[in-house]
A and B are shown apart, each in its own frame.
Chain A
C-alpha cells in the first residue's frame, strides 16, 4: 500500500461546512461596526478550518490512531514514570463540582475544592516528611523555580546576599541547571564517582560561604540511592546552604524513607509522574513543593488555612515570595492525584515502591548478559544500561530504541544521563506485569542478537510505523512551524 500524507485539518476544510451551533442570539443585535473604531474591526477572517462534525471526529480519531499511549503497550520511559493512569481519575475530575468552578468564586461556595486541596497537602506532607506543601506550581520546572526563589528569599532575609551558587550533580536532569540560572544563581557542577553517586570529596571542595543550595534527586538519575545522603546534608548545612530535593524519582521510596528525613529543606513533586496525573502528551502536570519549617514563611501566596472547620485562602503573608502561578495551581491534576492516593493509602503506596523497585531489578538482571551495566548495585525504580558493545557492531542506542517500536514497545529514554556512554534508561513502573517485563527482556535480547547477525534491520528501524525516520535536521534548520495555504 502506497503511503500518503495524513491530511491536516486545514486540508479537509471546505467553504460552507460547519461543525458548530452556538447558543441563540436572543438579545437585540447591536451595530458593532458602528460602535468600534474601524481600525479595531478585523478585516481578514481568521482562517480556521471549516469541517463538519463527522469529519472533525474522523480527523482527530485518525490522529489518535497515530499515537502511542500507555494502553497501547509497554512504555518504559526512564525518568518519566509512565505508570497506568487510572480511569476513575478521569471520571472524578469531570464531576461538575470540580470541573466547572471558577477560581474567583467566594471561598465559602467552593469548600469542597479547598478541602480536597488541603487534604492532598496533608497527605503529601506525610509522604515527603515536610512541614508544609503548596500546590501552586504548574509542573516540575515551575516547582523547582519556586523552591529556588524561596531559598533565595530565605538567604536574603538572613542578610546572606552573597549566596549565589547552586551545586548540581553532573548526572542531573537539564532542568536543574536551567532553573538555577533563571532564578539568578550561578551553577556549580559536582562530579559523580565510579559508583554513579555524588563524589563527596568533590562536594567538600565546592562548598563555601557562597553556597545557596544543593539540588539533588534521590534516587538519582541513574536509579541509584545516594547512600551518603546524611553526610551530604551535613556538608551543605554546615556552610549554611539548603538541600533541595527533585522529586522526579519519588516512586522508588514511598513508605521506605522520606526526603524530610534525609535532611532536605525543599522538595518538589511531579504529581503527573508518581501520582498518576496523566502526561497528556506533554502536559499539563502539577509540581507541588514541600518545605521545612524555616522556609514556610516564604511560601508563595495564597496558602490554604483551616479555621474552625472552614477553609480559607490566605494572601497576607509578609515574607512570601509572591504569586508564582495564576489562581491555585493545576487543580484538575491535583484532583487526580488525590483520587489515586485515596485509592492506595499508606499500604498501597509502599507496595507501589516495592514493586517498582522489584520490577526494575528484575529487568536489569535480565539484560546484564547482552548489555553492559555501568553500575551493578541494586537499582531503585529505574536503571541505566550502556550499548557500548552494540556500538562496536555499528548499532547505536538510538537504533535499538527505534527497533523496539517494531516490536510494539515504546522506547526507553536514550542518551540520558549524559555521563553514561550510549545510555538507555529503563523504568518499568509497578503497574506492569511479569509477562510484560519478560516480553521486553526477550525483545532486547532479540535486538542484541540482531545487532550481531543482521545489524541493518536495527540500524534502519523502525519498519512498521506510520512513518519512517524523519529528517529532523532540516526541520530545525529551515523550520516550518505552521500550515500555509498554497498560493
Chain B
C-alpha cells in the first residue's frame, strides 16, 4: 500500500539512515524496551483509497437525517440558522485553518487581526468592554465564569437558575467537584428565574448568580431586577449566559450591570455539526480583565510605527503560570470565531437586528398558530425565538410522527425537567417559511388531536 501523505522514498530513507549512522529505522526505536514493544500489527480496519473512503463516508453520512432535508423546530441551545456563503469560503483558506496559535505575530497578523475584530464584535453586541478570543463553547464559558467568580470573591456558593441550559448546569456540577463548591439551583416560576428564592439564597457567601438571557425556555429574564437584587449583596458576580443573536434586538446584559457575559456564537455562521465544535465567548468588565481565561489579542505597533496585533496578557496563562494559572485552558476555537466574525461582518449593524427580529416574528407566528390549534403555551412572558407548549401526548411519540412527515420536532423538556413531561420546547428561526410553519402546525394538530 502506498500512502499519499508520506513523501520519503526508499532512496531518501537510505541516504538519511547513512547520515544518521544506523542501518535501519528499527535502531532508532531501540530505546523502547522489549517488554513494552507491540509485537504485532495494530488491529485496525484496512486502509482504503480516497475514492472508496469518500463513498463509504458519504453513505455513513446519509444514514443521518440532516437539517437540510428535514424542517427542524429543534433548538435548545443549538440553532439552525442561515449561513452566508462567504463564511465557508473564508474559513477554507489554508492560511487560516492549518495555522497554529499565533505565537509568532510577524507571520500571523491575519489571524490576530481577525481575533481582535471578533473581540470587538462581541464587545459591541454584549456591551462589555473586555472580550477574549473565544473558548471551547458556551458551556465551558459558563464553567470558566464560575471559576473566575470564585477566585475573585473568594467565596464558594454559586446560585444557578434552573432556567439555564440543563447541560450547562451539569457542567458546573461536574466542575464544582474539583473546587469543592456549593451549587444552589434557583427554581423557575412562570418560566422565569424565581426572584423570591433568589433573594433568599443570596448572602455574604455567594460568589456568583448565573442566569441565561433569553433563558432555556426562550423567555426573557428580567435582568434589571436581578441586578438590583445582586447589588444588595455587593460582591457577588452577576453572570449572564446570552445568545448573541438575541442581542441584536434585546438590551445587552452589559447595560444591566452584568459582571461576566458568556455564550456561544454558533448562531453566527457555525453549523450544528452534532454539537461541536461551536464557539464560546467570554466578556467581562475592565476590573476583571487580568483574570480572564483563554487568549486575548491586543493592538500595538511595530518598530516602524505600523499597527500590529499580538497575544496580550499572556502572563495569565498556563504555559507561563503553570500551577498558579487561573485556568488550564490552552486552545480556543479560533477557526469558529473566525466563521462567526465573517457572519457578523456580513450581517452588519442592520442585518443582526433584522435577523433577530425575523426570528421573533416567525416564532410568534408559530406560537400563535399552535395556540389556535389548541396546543397551549406553558409560559406567557416575552420570548425570543423559542417557547414551550403543552402536548396531549409524550413528546417522543409526537416527534416520531412528525419525523415521518419530514419534520424534526422540538426538544422534549421532560428529559431535563420531570415536571414538564409532555412539554415541547419549539424553536423557529429565520429560515422557516410560513408554509413550513403552517404544515408543521397542521401536523401537530393532527397528531395531538
Contact = CB atoms under 8 A, between A and B. Distances in A.
A330 B364 CA distance: 33
B361 A41 contact: no
A35 interface: yes
B143 to A, nearest CB: 9
Interface residues of A, number: 202
Contact of A139 (B42, B82, B300, B331): B331
A229 B94 CA distance: 39
B98 A187 contact: no
B310 A410 contact: no
Q: Indicate the member of B131, B251, B313 with the most A CB atoms within 10 Å.
A: B251
Interface in A417-434: 430-434
Interface in A370-390: 377-378
Nearest to A36: B382
A27 B361 contact: yes
Interface in A426-485: 430-434, 462, 465-472, 474-476, 479-483
B375 interface: no
B111 A53 contact: no
Given A85-B97, A95-B57, A229-B33, 16 more contacts: A22-B430, A40-B251, A53-B86, A56-B345, A56-B346, A83-B5, A138-B136, A175-B330, A178-B327, A229-B36, A230-B33, A280-B97, A281-B334, A405-B104, A467-B302, A483-B120
Nearest to A320: B174
Interface residues of B, number: 204
Interface in B230-244: none
Given A20-B347, A366-B19, A476-B314, A466 B106 contact: yes
B323 A480 contact: no
B7 interface: yes
Q: Indicate the member of B42, B100, B279, B351 with the most A CB atoms within 10 Å.
A: B100
Interface in B43-87: 43-48, 50, 53-54, 56-69, 72, 74, 76-78, 80, 82, 84, 86
Interface in A75-110: 75, 77, 80, 82-86, 88, 90-106, 109-110
Contact of B97 (A69, A257, A465): A69
B312 A86 contact: no
Q: Indicate the member of A45, A95, A141, A476 with the most B CB atoms within 10 Å.
A: A476
A467 B323 contact: no
B134 A343 contact: no
B61 A178 contact: no
Interface in B393-417: 396, 399-400, 403, 408, 411
A18 B351 contact: yes
Interface string A354-367: 11011101100110
Contacts of A178: 318, 321-323, 325, 327-328
Contacts of B212: none
Nearest to B12: A434
Contacts of B437: 27
Nearest to B329: A141
Interface stretch (B122-130, B154-162, B184-192): B122-130
Contacts of A402: 104, 106
Nearest to A402: B106
A134 to B, nearest CB: 13
Q: Indicate the member of B171, B274, B351 with the most A CB atoms within 10 Å.
A: B274
Nearest to A139: B331
A77 B336 CA distance: 23
A169 B273 CA distance: 38
A179 B323 CA distance: 7
A8 B130 CA distance: 18
Contacts of A288: none
A53 B348 CA distance: 11
9 contacts: A22-B351, A68-B95, A100-B68, A280-B336, A352-B6, A362-B19, A467-B109, A470-B308, A479-B313
B335 A102 contact: no
Contacts of B30: 378
Contacts of A323: 167, 170-171, 174
Q: Indicate the member of B31, B42, B147, B303 with the most A CB atoms within 10 Å.
A: B42
Contacts of A105: 64-65, 74, 408
B354 interface: yes
